[in-house]
Structure 1
Amino acid sequence: MESKGGTFEFDPYTYKGSPNVELSDGYTTVVISFFVFLAINLAAVKIGPPKNFTGDVWRWRNTFVSWLHADIVGVGVLYCLLFKPEISTDLILYCDTYIYTLLSFSMGYFVYDVFDHAVNNKLVSNYEVILHHIGVVWSFGYNIQYKVNVPYTIIALMTEINSIFLHARKLMQFDKWPFDHWLYKMVVWLNFITFIRFRIWGVILIGWGIYTEWDRLTLVYHIFIVSTMFVMYLINPILFWRLLKNDILRQFRSKDKNEKLSMNGNHGKIVNGECHQT
């Protein structure tokens, strides 16, 4: 390996991985993470869903576990963004115990979630989730095995910061929180803001990185990452429009309806999309 103009040049096909971390530690963390989320799931079974919940209990439980994963990993990624600027020195070669463990911990969750779908016969009905998870497990597994591209994975995990509020919103809907409650509105807006700041921006950063560092990636990784990013560039605008239509614009429509009711001499409010007279 040699340095040229401050940028490390290396052969991605012969590189042996970062010497700062141990492969055994990565896979050990994956296994521990798997059983941590399995234990959380069993605890959720014992606790049960909120009293207002109606429907498939597995869906609530799966969302609850996903929310906890987003909390843990999202806070971990936020710490990286705020206090570990050295990650940006080389998004392919840089690696330390913290980000390697965070990556491995997250992979353990995705392995668990595929397992959870399988044992509850949800693989077919949630096929789009499973396809996403398979891609994630392949990518994370590649980076753990070869101890490379780990900072790029941290950028990808920025989406978990958004997922904190995405899953919180869904859990509040399960518990039938009114759409006009101040806390629900706050979660909606934080979901919207973090979607732009961390989910969309993360995809843009990875896309730019692939373009500028194309020669530093293996052919196998080229094929995977290009196909994955192509799908993400198609899906994210669709998800953004749904978020904008179902949450942000709904709040303005509800506000307009309440104002019309007041102008007509009626007193009411919009709760869960319906008008309730008071």
Structure 2
Amino acid sequence: MELSSVILTTGVSVGFFRVVNAGVGKLPMPESACRNAWKWRNISTSFVHSFITAIWAVLCFFRHPQMAEDLIETHSVFSHALVSLSIGYFICDFLDMVLNQKLNQSWEILFHHIVVGLSTITVTDQN
């Protein structure tokens, strides 16, 4: 997958998850979630990401079964797009947490997003 396609897919992913986050904020929420509406939106957006990536990952193996034999050297454009989508989600979630939550409450997850994002970029770069 070319760098321009990765950047485009990642950018579209950031935008998509921003729209999901805003859309979740418009939906009715349980009374218990009203006390912390931001957390409700954030967890709901995370669930949408998890749901999409779970289905997409299975489809990656279905469309390119050779990946089951060698996850290091074997990949497809479809699986690269999945990685780009996840990087976009991590960027979106990172920014959402930086803007809406105290650092002492979220530093572990922010650190997780940085490490996973950088390691994903490094592994993708080598292929």
Report the TM range for the smaller structure's normalisation. 0.7 to 0.9
The letter for the 2-side match of 1:119 is L
Quote the residue 2:49 is aligned against: 69
Residue 108 of structure 1 and its aligned partner are, at CA, apart by 0.4
Give the counterpart of 2:33 among 53, 61, 71.
53
CA distance in 2, matches of 1:50, 1:108: 28
The letter for the 2-side match of 1:125 is Q
Q: How large is the RMSD of aligned CA atoms in angstroms?
A: 1.8
Task: Mark the runs of 5 or more structure 2 residues left unpaired by the alignment.
Answer: none
Quote the residue 1:34 is aligned against: 14
Give the counterpart of 1:94 among 38, 50, 74.
74
CA distance in 2, matches of 1:122, 1:141: 27
Q: Does residue 143 of structure 1 match 2:123?
A: yes
CA distance in 1, matches of 2:92, 2:120: 14
Q: Which has the higher contact order (CA 8 A, sep 6+)?
A: 2
- CA 30–123 in structure 1, closer or farther in 2 if over 3 Å, else same: farther
Q: Deviations over 1:27-50 (max 9, x none)?
A: 111111001001111112222423
Give the counterpart of 1:120 among 83, 94, 100.
100
2:49–2:89 contact (8 Å) kept in structure 1: yes
TM value normalised by structure 2: 0.88
CA distance in 1, matches of 2:126, 2:54: 21
The letter for the 2-side match of 1:66 is S
| More strand, by proportion | 1
2:14–2:92 contact (8 Å) kept in structure 1: yes
Residue 147 of structure 1 and its aligned partner are, at CA, apart by 5.0
2:56–2:82 contact (8 Å) kept in structure 1: yes
Aligned residue pairs total: 127
1:104–1:140 contact (8 Å) kept in structure 2: no
Larger Rg over CA atoms: 1
Task: Mark the runs of 5 or more structure 1 residues left unpaired by the alignment.
Answer: 1-20, 149-278
2:13–2:85 contact (8 Å) kept in structure 1: yes
| More helix, by proportion | 2
Residue 92 of structure 1 and its aligned partner are, at CA, apart by 2.5
CA distance in 2, matches of 1:40, 1:102: 17
- CA 49–67 in structure 1, closer or farther in 2 if over 3 Å, else same: same
Fraction of identical pairs, as percent: 30
